[in-house]
Amino acid sequence: MSLETLLQRSAWAQGLTPDQRARVVAEIQVRPVENGGYVCRKGDPTHAWFGVIEGLVKITTASASGKSVTFTGVPAGAWFGEGSVLKHEIRKYDVMALRDSVLAHMPIATFDWLLDTSIPFNRFLTRQLNERLGQFIAAVEHERLLDTDARVARSLSSMFNPNLYPSDDNTMQISQEELSYLAGVSRQRVNLALKVLEQAGLVKVDYGVLTILDLEGLREFGM
């Protein structure tokens, strides 16, 4: 996927005027990051809003003792990090590539300019922040109330949120190791959970690829 394709899939970009779009394209920087590399680090100054052109990244943090937690995964086609940009604060989390990835970096000055000049961009951000809040409230609920199989199901279904991660594709290229990072369980336990979900007719598991057969069923599994 190219930057142009990413913008075509981004609801906020569709509402821009030709002049606004031209400035956005001119000022966005496209940068690769290798598997295991960092897009940004906790404590870094916020300099950009990020869009995933290719690959998969995770938003994570770790304590001084080394205990870590993953908040969410971000697949190709999605934008993230708007909260820190809006507040002009240092990053409160790490963003790490789970495979070789390519990201769009919209400078904070461009982001602020869109806030001042584009009503559709502001409406998009309102929806985006509301969806993000709902995502994290659900994550806390799932962590405390659901068993491991259901948590893996929710980790998968959350990556098919049509507002946060726009895509018409019901397949995802993701390894069991990558999914284990996102769900916060071992790869071996992910393997068992996927077998349960496949037997329930919710997903189809192939090597490195998952096909979602019943998204609503995946969202409600274990309730």
Structural domain of 116: 3-130
Q: Which of 130, 155, 178 is the last residue of a domain?
A: 130
Question: pLDDT tens across 177-219, in order?
Answer: 888 887 878 889 999 999 999 999 999 988 878 899 998 898 8
Please tell me the distance from the alpha carbon of residue 74 to that of residue 85, in angstroms, as a whole number.
17
> Do residues 88 and 95 make contact, with C-beta atoms less than 8 angstroms apart?
no
Does 204 map to a domain?
Answer: yes
Give residue 109's pLDDT. Answer: 97
Question: pLDDT tens across 27-36, in order?
Answer: 999 999 999 9
In this structure, the answer to whether residues 16 and 114 fall within a common structural domain is: yes
Does 140 map to a domain?
Answer: no
Does 83 map to a domain?
Answer: yes
Instruction: Kindly tell me if the per-residue pLDDT of 10 is higher than 80.
Output: yes
- Total number of domains constituting the chain: 2
What global pTM score does this model have?
Answer: 0.82
Angstrom CA distances, 154 to 51, 94, 170, 179, 197, stand at 23, 22, 15, 11, 11
Orientation angle between helical segments 148-158 and 176-183, nearest 10 degrees: 100
In this structure, the answer to whether residues 83 and 44 fall within a common structural domain is: yes
In this structure, the answer to whether residues 68 and 119 fall within a common structural domain is: yes
Please tell me the distance from the alpha carbon of residue 109 to that of residue 121, in angstroms, as a whole number.
14
Chain position carrying tokens 């940068």:
31
Q: Which of 104, 130, 156 is the last residue of a domain?
A: 130
